[in-house]
Structure 1
Amino acid sequence: MSSDLIANLNEQQKAAVTLPEVSSLILAGVGSGKTSVLISRIAFLLEHRLCTPAELFAVTFTNKAAREMMTRLQAKMPLNTRAMWVGTFHGLCNRMLRLHHEAAGLPAAFAILDMSDQLGAIKRIMKANNINEEVLPARKIQNYINKQKEEGIRAKDIKPYGFGERDLLRVYEIYEKVINREGAVDFGELILRTYEMLLNNEPIRQHYQDRFKFILVDEFQDTNKLQYKFLKLLAGHGEEGRKPNAVFAVGDDDQSIYAFRGANVGNMKDFIRDFTIGEPIRLEQNYRSQGNILDAANYLISNNSDRLGKNLWTQSGKGDLIRVFKAGDEAEEAAFVVDNIKDFVRNGEDLREIAILYRSNAQSRALETELTRRGVKYTVYGGLRFFDRAEIKNALAYLRLAENTADDSAFMRVVNLP
C-alpha cells in the first residue's frame, strides 16, 4: 500500500490494515474510523496481491454502507469491482441463490417476500385454516417464524414445549409448504436456504471456500446465530484437512442494539474461541466526539457485564459540559427541549444546526406537539411525521367524523376501516 495512505492511519488502524493472512477481531469503538480501516484493508490485500477482487467476500450491515465502501475503495485505487462480492448478508445470499437456484430447490425467478408480504401470507394461511387472529395474532406468528429462521431452525426440527407453541408451529409448518409451493423466500429464508445449500452440496461449498480467501465482516456484533454459522461454513472452519480462510471481523460489543432481530453479541467471543484469535486489535481513538461526552460514555459502559473492554479517547479537547435533566413526564421533557431550542435561537443559532434525537418513533409525538404549539419549524428524518402516519390519520378521521357527521373526507377515509 502506498505510504501516503498508511500515513493517514493511526498506529492501531495500521496494525489492523497490515495484518498477515490470519483471522482477526477488530474492536472498533464509536467514531474510531472503522470504515476507513475496512476499506484500507481491502486496498492492502489487493495492492500486495494477496488476493484478487474476485477472492474477496465483504459483508456490510446495510446497502448504503456497501455502496459507500465501493465508492471510497474506487477513489483509493483503480479497480474493477464487478467481480467483487460486497453487500449485506441478504444481498449476497440472494446473489448466490440466483446462481445456484436449482441446487437450492428454487425456481430461477423466485420471489422475495418483504415483511409486509410475509405477514399477508401468514394471514391468508390463518384464514384458510380457521385460525382466529384475535386468539393468535399474525404478528406473533411472524415473529416466531423469523426467530426460528434466525436460529437456523426448520419447523420439522422443533419439538413444541407446550400448547401455545403447538399452534405457532402448526402455522410455521403450513407456511413453509405454501412459500415453497409458490417459489418464494422471505428475508430469513434467503440466508437459511443458502446455508443449507452450502452444507448439503459439497462441490458448491468447496467452490466458494476455495474462491473466497478473505472474508471481511462489518458490524460483527449485530450478526445472529445463523449468520455466524454461515460465515464459519463459508470459511471452511472445522473441515478436516483444511485451514480456515481469513475472517476479518470488525465490531463493537458495546454497540449491539439488534437483539430484538436475533443479533447475538456472544458471536464475538465464539469467534475468538473458534478461530483461535489472539488479543483483539482495539481502535480506541475517537474522531467524532469530544472528551466530556466520551468520559461519560466510558463511565456508563464500564458497568456493562461480560464485555471485551476498551476505553475511548480523543485529541479534540474536552468540549461542552453535559447537562442532564430528569423530567416528570413526556410533556415536561418536550417543554424542556423546546425551551432550550428557543434559547439557542435567541442567542443567534440557526434552527438548521439543531437536532433532536429520540430512541423510538413513538416518542416523536410529544416533541412534535410541543414544537408545533410553540411555532418552531421542524423536519422529521428517517420516518413519517407522527401526524402523517396512516394509523394516526385514520384515528383523527374518526374523531373528526364523531364531531361533524358532514365531514365527507373523513368519512371516505374510514368507511372501510378497520
Structure 2
Amino acid sequence: MAVPVPRQRETPATESAQAAQAVLAAQLPAAPHATTPQASLTLLVIEDDPAGGLTVPEILDADRHRIRLRTARNLTEAARLLTHDVHCILLDLSLSGTGSTAGGSRTAVVDELATLREVLRIAPGHAVLVLTAEADAERAAEAVRVGAQDFLFRDELDGRLLSRAIRYAVERKRADIAQYKLAESKLRAQENARLERGLLPNPLLEGSDLRFAARYRPGRSRALLGGDFYDTVRTPDGTVHAMIGDVCGHGPDEAALGVELRIAWRALTLAGLCGDDLLATLQEVLEVERPCEEIFATLCTVDISPDGRRAGLCLAGHPAPLISRPGRRAQLLPYENSGPALGLLPKARWPRRQVELGGTWSLMLYTDGLIEGRIGDGKERLGQDGMVEMINRHLDEGLSGEGLLEASVTEARRLNGGELTDDVAVVLLSRAEG
C-alpha cells in the first residue's frame, strides 16, 4: 500500500531561489552539521498511488519552517521535478519500475532496489529516504547498503519522525559528499605527486668522477614541479653536460613546457649537439610548444671536458654560474656576450665561452628564484652579490655538496621572511683532483 501524499501548490519564485541557495550551500564541503539559516527544506516524494496523501498535517524542520512537498508518480516525473531546490527524496519501495503508468499499472514491475539504484543514479547529490512496510525490514536495510541514507516504516510514520529523518538524511548526505571530495582530492594529490616525481630528472653520470647535488623547490603551493628545470648527462666521449633553465611564469603550463625542454635538451645532447646549435634547436621546440608567444625561457648550459679541467659555457638570458676553488673566494663565471632568452629573438645566436676550471672545484648553477628573494621587510633583494657572499660564508663553515645547497636555500627563505614565491632550482657539480 503506497503512502498518499497531498498535492502542493506551486512554490513562489522567491522561495525557490532561497531553497536553491540552500541546497547549493549544502552540497559544498562544509562542516557535516552546519545549517543554513532561514532556508526551508523541499522533499520530493516518489510514489505511484494517486489516491491520497500523507496522514500528517504538516512537516516542520528544526527552525519550525514547513517542509515543502513535491510528488512524482514515476521516475520520469521525478526526473522532471528534481530541481536544485530539492533537498531530499522519499522513495516508496513498492514503486513500480520506469514503465509504470500514471494509473499505477504493474505490467512492467522491476525489483524495488533496481528502482532505488535508478533514483540514486539520476540524483547522486541528493539525500534519499526509502519507505517500506515493517515486514520488509531486511529489504530496507539492504536499501541503506545500496546508498539510501535511511529507511522508514509506513505504520510508524508521523510528521515528527519524518521531519527528523529528512534533516538527518540531508546532513548525512552532505557529510558523505564532503568525505568523498576529501578522499578524491587526496587521491588526486597523490597521483599528481607520483607523476611529478617521475618527471624530475635522473642524472646520467655513470663513469664520471664528478659529484652531483641538487635542490628543487617549486613556487606553486603544494606542487612538486615548477617552471624551473635542470639535467646532467655524460656522453660516450666522457664529456659531462649540465644545464639549468627557467620558463617565465609559475603555472602548470609553464611546468609542462619546462619538462619538454629538459627532455629535448637531453635527447639533443645525447645526439651530439652542443652550444649554439643545441640552443637554436631548443628555441624551435619552445616556439612550437609554448601556449602563447609571450612565453620565453632562460637557459645556462655547461659542457665539462673529459679531464674535468675545462668547460664550455653558454648563457641564454640566464644568471652566470658560480665557481669555488680551494683557497679562493667563490665568484661568478664571466658572463659577457651572453645571448638572449629562448623565444625572444628569431635566429638569435648564443656564443660559447671557454672557461678554465682547474683540478679541484665546485660549480653551482641556479635559477633566479634563489637571488630574487627579498631581504627583510624592505624592497631590497638578495641579488647575485648577496648570494656570492652567502655561499662564501657557508664554505667558510665547511659546508659542501647537499649541505651547502640546503643551507643556502634555507637562508634565502629566512632572509625573505617566508617561503620564496618563485621556483628555485640549484645544481652543484664538484671535482676533487686525486
Q: Same fold (TM over 0.5)?
A: no
Q: Smaller-chain TM-score range? A: under 0.3
Q: Which of the pair has the greater relative contact order for Cα pairs under 8 Å at 6+ separation? A: 1
Please report the TM-score for the alignment, with normalisation by the length of structure 2.
0.20
More helix by share: 1
Give the TM-score normalised by the residue count of structure 1.
0.21
Q: Which has the higher strand share?
A: 2
